[in-house]
Amino acid sequence: MAQVWQKWRWDGLGLSIAGLCLLHCLITTVLLTIFATAGGLLLNPMIHEVGLGLAILLGVLALGKGFRAHGLFMPAFIGALGIGMMGGALTLPHGTMEIALTVIGVVFLGLGHLLNHRARR
């Protein structure tokens, strides 16, 4: 059981955070459509900045450790591309493009973590 935790520790945490981010983005979009007043709370820039900081930290830890273990660039490259998209989305005004770029970035980051995990098997 300890070996399973060792293999999944950082990538599992990274995938979990990516999933939470994706849920946040999708739920925020739905709530904005339904409850315009709730958008002010959920669109607080601090939430996005902290989320990006966590994504960068976990990405560096998990993808970096995976690269050292298996030596493959692709998982780290795809994960970094996703983080870049998420960071780029922070520069856009809130709206459809910001949400789309964030969601696509989260999907790329999650894919990077998944590829990293598969390469470490």
Encode the chain (121 residues) as per-residue pLDDT tens digits. 556 656 667 888 888 888 888 888 888 887 767 666 555 666 677 777 888 898 899 888 999 999 999 999 999 999 999 999 999 998 998 788 988 998 999 999 999 999 999 997 7
Q: What is the predicted pLDDT for the residue at 49? A: 84
Q: What is the predicted pLDDT for the residue at 80? A: 94
pTM: 0.70
Q: What is the predicted pLDDT for the residue at 42? A: 60
Q: What is the predicted pLDDT for the residue at 113? A: 92
Q: What is the predicted pLDDT for the residue at 99? A: 86
Report in angstroms the alpha-carbon separations of 96 from 28, 32, 42, 85, 121.
Answer: 12, 12, 15, 14, 38
Q: What is the dihedral of CA 50, 53, 58, 64, to 10 degrees?
A: 180
Q: What is the predicted pLDDT for the residue at 87? A: 92
Burial class (CB in 10 A: 0-12, 13-18, 19+), 50: exposed
Rg (the chain; Cα; Å): 15
Q: What is the predicted pLDDT for the residue at 82? A: 94
